Amino acid sequence: MKQLLLFFCLGWQLVANGQRILLLNGVAHIGDGQVMESAAIGVVNDRIAFVKNALTQTFDPKDWDTIIQLKGQHIYPALVSANNTLGLTEIDAVRATRDFNDVGTWNPHVRAQIAFNVESRVVETVRTNGVLISQATPRGGLISGTSAIMNLSGWNWEDATIVANDGIHVNWPSNKETYAQDKQLIYNFFNTAKAAAFDRTEPVVELRIEAMKACFKGTKRVYIHAESIQQIVDVIDFAQAFALPFPVIVGGDEAHLVGPKLKDSKIPVMLNRIHSLPRHEDDLTYQPYRMPALLKAQGILFCLQNDGDMQAMNTRNLPFQAGTTMAYGLSEEEALQTVSLNVCKIMGIDQDYGTLAAGKKATFFVSKGPALDMKTNAVSLILINGKFCPTTNFQEALYHKYQDKYKQ
């Protein structure tokens, strides 16, 4: 068996994609709150074979195609970006590159998966900060469409797919003048869809109704975008009225004000971008920063997401949003969970992703320093499904190009 020797210089110079990879002596942030100071992680094909203490184990070099000495660098599970248009848009100002907003009010049958652009230049800039999985999410209408969970290194959209039809996205009404009317429209649509799901066995010709069936049978989530107390309370009642197996609130600016009700309902929350201004003028200026700690204290399952202006390219800041929560009540490992394990739990992919554990997909990255700090986040190795990915991007290449030209 040929041994591949890899040397660390300015970055990992990876000469092949070995089938059996051994990483030694890194600081492993497991993702469930544990930290292993001198870890040995074995990867066989696309799965993690083991995570052990390197100081108490011996390994035969002949058993491994690739052995990498990390020398105290930090290993993290893939960071996951929820509710994002990454891969569905390239330049926000150019309409022809925006594939996330379809025409119409009721679009549960519109699938983000087939519009995902694996060759997006934005994707590579995000990946090199440790974000390796994204939930490609449509926008617009009362029901925007069906999101898909994608890894950020695929030959095509089929290759990049983790979950093809993850869930539908409902935009809960916010206009006070038409609130009751719009809410009733949603109830009417769901009543029709639920009747079709349980009262009929033959396929429904109407694609919109057919796309809703899985929401009631537990194989598709219902992501409901809501912010205010009134909206959140109504969403909880709505989820109970239709006995939705997996409802999720997206946004939740005032979720902390109805914490007990949310906890009892067991509905998780995908929090708004915390690098934002507070919702109300009389809120504390750091209110968004402390929202994760407030929900954590109330026992609510939550994660961070990055919806907002220029969200695709700003996804590169996702680890630093998690890092901000460390200054407002969360520990480093709890902050990591807000962009890894918690997201995977909410989206139902935690059996394969979210932590560094035997049997899970080998999708993780290595950083020279703590990855949640922008001063020390320096990704030196990326594995997605057991395959090495580039740790550089075109922006870095341009930086070096002009640095070389104009250096003093």
**Residue 189 is part of a domain; what is its CATH number?**
3.20.20.140
pTM here is 0.91
- HSE-up of 160 (CA within 13 Å, CB side)? 26
Cα distance between residue 164 and residue 93, in whole Å: 28
**Is residue 406 in some structural domain?**
no
**Is residue 408 in some structural domain?**
no
**Is residue 20 in some structural domain?**
yes
**Is residue 217 in some structural domain?**
yes
Is the domain of 44 the same as that of 134?
no
CATH number of the structural domain spanning residue 364: 2.30.40.10
- Alpha carbon 139 to chain centroid, angstroms: 17
- Alpha carbon 335 to chain centroid, angstroms: 14
Is the domain of 99 the same as that of 158?
yes
Q: Determine which helix (DSSP H) or strand (DSSP E) holds 393, and give its type and residue range.
A: none
Cα distance between residue 176 and residue 391, in whole Å: 48
Is the domain of 224 the same as that of 292?
yes
Is the domain of 17 the same as that of 160?
no
Is the domain of 215 the same as that of 252?
yes
Tens-of-pLDDT digits for all 408 residues of the chain?
334 334 343 334 444 455 899 999 999 999 999 999 999 999 999 999 999 999 998 899 999 999 999 999 999 999 999 999 999 988 776 776 777 788 889 999 999 999 999 999 999 999 999 999 999 999 999 999 999 999 999 899 999 999 999 999 999 999 999 999 999 999 999 999 998 888 766 665 788 998 999 999 989 999 999 999 999 999 999 999 999 999 999 999 999 999 999 999 999 999 999 999 898 888 899 999 999 999 999 999 999 999 888 888 899 999 999 999 999 999 999 999 999 999 999 999 999 999 999 999 999 999 999 999 999 999 999 999 999 999 998 888 898 899 888 875
Is the domain of 19 the same as that of 37?
yes
Is the domain of 148 the same as that of 20?
no
Is the dihedral angle over the CA atoms 276, 306, 311, 238 positive or is it negative?
negative
**Is residue 404 in some structural domain?**
no
Is the domain of 257 the same as that of 272?
yes
b/e per residue, 203-217, with b = 16+ CB within 10 A?
Answer: ebeeebbbbbbbbbe
Cα distance between residue 83 and residue 88, in whole Å: 12
- CA-CA distances (angstroms) from residue 79 to 23, 157, 226, 336, 353? 19, 19, 24, 8, 10
Is the domain of 192 the same as that of 72?
no
Is the domain of 174 the same as that of 32?
no
Is the domain of 244 the same as that of 369?
no
Q: Show the domain range for 199.
A: 79-347
- Residue 121: how many CB atoms within 10 A of its CB? 13
Is the domain of 279 the same as that of 303?
yes
**Is residue 354 in some structural domain?**
no
